[in-house]
Chains A and B, each alone.
Chain A
Amino acid sequence: MQSKVLFNKDDHQWVVIGRDPEKDDHVIDTNEYVIIHRGHAMLLDPGGIQIFPQVLAELAKYVRMQDIKVIFASHQDPDICSSLAMWLDLNPAIKTYCSWLWTGFVSHFSTGAVITLNPIPDDGMRIKIGEEGPEMEAVPAHYCHSSGNFSLYDPSAGILFSGDIGGALVPDHHASLLVTDFEQHIQYMRGFHLRWMPSTTALRGWVQRVRAIKPKTICPQHGSIFEGENVGKLLDWLESLEVGQWKGSAPKSETRAAA
């Protein structure tokens, strides 16, 4: 597992953890992010249970386990938060947040102790890192892809965690954590978005909200990170997409006859 400091200013850090060379091939590659403010941490999409040991080992280099204050889950998928019970077992004081739509579902990831999640209302909310920490903004991203979905914006760093939006299935763990050639990178994003994003309207709505925020960096949960001019290129590309277009394969003649 690799980790890299993306932002570090005034005792405020963003760290990305990902690209695990020892990960089983059948497990989709994910990026886990942690925001550390004056020693207190917020973990964004902590990941699946399969990669929990590696993420924990890497995270232990940056923050005390007792100082993880918040876990934010962009949506309910297993690669996003099936490790939640393990994190809460390590530190029961962690406050967890996800869309109100999924609190009852994500609680099923419990392995003993009850998982209590703080519901994020549809319009979003501000989430503090600890009692005194800065506020992060949960930005609505519903139907991108999940029906209850949020991105998270850090105003002081200008970084937007976009969840699955901007995600890519990069070929291997050697792929760069940062997008260096946007046009080249599209091939890894296209299929991902066409199939996993169900609504063009919702995706374009999200792009409009994000343009208003003007982030300097966009960090997806899969693939590589967009910085500088690549942020604008990503938003333009997303706006041009027609997603959720699967119409089914043509029925076979026997099926038609049977019908």
Chain B
Amino acid sequence: MAAMHDVLSLFKRNINQLFGITVDILNVGRSLQQLSLSMQILANNGVVQAAKIPGGKGRPMLALVEILNNTPKEIRPEVEALEHLCAGLAKVTASSSNIVWRYHQLIASLLSAMTQGEPSSKSKSLETLSHLRFTTAADVTQLTQHPAFTAVGGLERENRLYLVHHCQANLTELQERLKEALRCLGETHQALNGLKMIGLTARYMAFCISSEAAGLAEAEANFKNLAAEISRVVDDLDNKTRAMKDAIEHGQELLGLLLKGHTYAK
């Protein structure tokens, strides 16, 4: 029965790994707020530079940097939405962790009772259960069909069936929670699209600033530098959203396996 404990221990650890994934997503989300401040500083710098341009030639530039100035306002609600989703994911993970922990205890109790009940000459018959992982309802049902499960008095058999009923209920509840976690991750993935759009807009602004700067004589170099800085910040935004996407996809892969009763050993 050591194999069962190993599988269930890994199953529990895999569920707890979702906490790590949630923290990864949340940390990246929070770093985006810092990044949006960098964007605002660049936008303010652009406003100052544009104001220095004589003869009204700086007006198009002012309009462009004004759009950039809105970036922090646009990123903040996106990050808040991410935080909300991550909090939900952490809650679901905590609940799943509790359920699987209780489930492990009950299965361990059933197997302990069956091992005790087996006369030593028949103890090998329990080895026929060694292929079971007990991470699915089907495995628990199979346990009830084993001779060692039923070959006891009425009271013990009734208690064992009572425990099996609780195990099945725990597994059903766990499945519900894992599906909820998967839904949370899906919504987090959706929220990333909003951040990507903000990045694309900022990158386009950088391109426009660079183009407008071409006709601005001595101010050209300053605006080209500004555009380059904006592109660098957007690159950073892209890297962070990519990291978040990777974390989400890892979580989705993990949950996909757990929902099938499999474990993730990497």
A interface list, Cβ under 8 A from B: 1, 49, 52-54, 56-58, 60-66, 85-86, 89-90, 111-112
Contacts and interface: CB of A to CB of B under 8 A. Distances in A.
B102 A60 contact: no
Nearest to A91: B162
A112 B106 CA distance: 16
B15 to A, nearest CB: 14
Interface in B23-56: none
Contacts of B108: 53
A63 B155 CA distance: 7
Contacts of B106: 53, 56, 86, 90
10 contacts: A49-B105, A53-B105, A53-B106, A53-B109, A57-B112, A57-B116, A58-B113, A58-B116, A60-B109, A62-B155
B204 interface: no
A1 B102 CA distance: 20
B155 A86 contact: no
A118 B106 CA distance: 26
A167 to B, nearest CB: 25
Nearest to B107: A53
Given A61-B156, A64-B155, A90-B166, A111 B112 contact: no
Contact of B109 (A54, A63, A112): A54
A52 B113 CA distance: 12
Given A57-B109, A65-B159, A86-B102, 18 more contacts: A1-B112, A49-B105, A52-B105, A52-B109, A53-B109, A56-B106, A58-B116, A60-B109, A60-B113, A60-B155, A60-B160, A62-B155, A64-B155, A65-B162, A65-B163, A86-B105, A90-B162, A111-B101
A142 B156 CA distance: 38
Contacts of B156: 60-61
Contacts of B105: 49, 52-53, 86
B159 A64 contact: yes
Interface in B160-202: 160, 162-163, 166
Interface in B48-83: none
Contacts of B101: 111
A112 B95 contact: yes
Contacts of B159: 60, 64-65
A57 B98 contact: no
A63 B159 CA distance: 8
A54 B1 CA distance: 14
A89 B102 contact: yes
